[in-house]
A and B are shown apart, each in its own frame.
Chain A
Amino acid sequence: MHTLALANPARVRGTVVEATEFPQWAEENAVYAVPRTVVRLGRGPSGAIEGAVSEDYLIRTLKNIIEQGR
């Protein structure tokens, strides 16, 4: 995910969270298996991606989330 932030650091933030240190944060984001990527547009959760996914799948999912957020 960090490569997405590098591609557009003004708009995209890529954060890796060690879930066991922040159990409440993980629970609030329904983290029952890892990796789980929560995508936020502005404030508030907007979508999530389960597991390690391909670049194509990731980009498609991001496009959908951005479209739904509009």
Chain B
Amino acid sequence: MNPLSERDRQTLREMFRDLKFPVHLELFVEAGHQWSHDAESLLRDVVRVMPDLLRLEVWDVGHDNLLAALYGVQHVPTLVVADHRREDSGIRFIGLPTGYEFSVLIEALLDVSQNRIRLSDPSLNFIRNIEDDITLEVFVTPT
């Protein structure tokens, strides 16, 4: 897998100027698993662009199974995005975040960092008052 190009890094540097508070990226991987390795390489490249505000922790599901269970991790690689207090934002990326998924990831990092919720007031009110546990699984492909 190709690492980020210098042009990619420059684009990210510009986008990450809007980061406000630190974001924690908790990546769950499995030793010897190619996509886990690729995801870790990619995310290390991403956090290197803004190391003061983006913090990556890599957990092996073989060793850190309790933490994986706490986050409900059932597949690798799984990225859990947590806010500056290291509280779970509810956002997960499962699989190697490339293509469309990569741009969604960058937007998610910016939103979590700024605590930016891009919803109208009525929609926000509805979502905040949901009392059921809801999971939205968005299936995408790299292109």
Contact = CB atoms under 8 A, between A and B. Distances in A.
Interface of A: 1-22, 25-26, 29, 31, 34-42, 55-56, 59, 62-63, 66, 69
A18 B126 contact: no
Nearest to B93: A16
A66 B136 CA distance: 13
Majority secondary structure, A binding face: mixed
B10 interface: no
Given A2-B107, A41-B132, 15 more contacts: A4-B127, A6-B90, A6-B112, A8-B90, A10-B90, A11-B134, A13-B133, A16-B93, A16-B101, A16-B104, A19-B141, A38-B136, A38-B139, A40-B134, A41-B133
A1 B134 contact: no
How many B residues touch the partner, as a band? 35 or more
Contacts of B89: 2, 5-6, 9
Nearest to B96: A18
B137 A17 contact: yes
A62 to B, nearest CB: 7
A29 B100 CA distance: 20
Interface stretch (B43-51, B56-64, B115-123): B115-123
25 contacts: A2-B81, A2-B108, A6-B89, A7-B119, A12-B127, A12-B130, A12-B134, A12-B135, A13-B91, A15-B94, A18-B97, A18-B101, A21-B95, A22-B94, A29-B139, A35-B100, A35-B139, A37-B136, A38-B136, A40-B137, A41-B133, A42-B132, A56-B123, A66-B130, A66-B132
